Structure 1
């Protein structure tokens, strides 16, 4: 195998990995988990605010 063939095979493998990651990210069964993860920063703010309120009391 020459360098061109190896480069072509590598390109196809990387492209297939990319397609797999995109498919996984947009699959409907992951929506609940991703929505939950997207709201984590807001949950931390609520916890920090309640901790501050307790310390000020």
Structure 2
């Protein structure tokens, strides 16, 4: 079965994948941060979407 290229949801919605350009762009827009800030946050706190959101929306 072919991949649906219109469905750009992450495979695991609870984890951040910094290798997917569209996901990095989405998260930096959502969180209001730069790519460098997002990468630093993931390096310090891990790749849990909820942990990163809590950090930016505290």
| TM-score interval (norm. to shorter) | under 0.3
Greater fraction of residues in helix: 1
TM-score, with structure 1 as normaliser: 0.24
TM-score, with structure 2 as normaliser: 0.24
Task: Say which one has the larger Rg.
Answer: 1
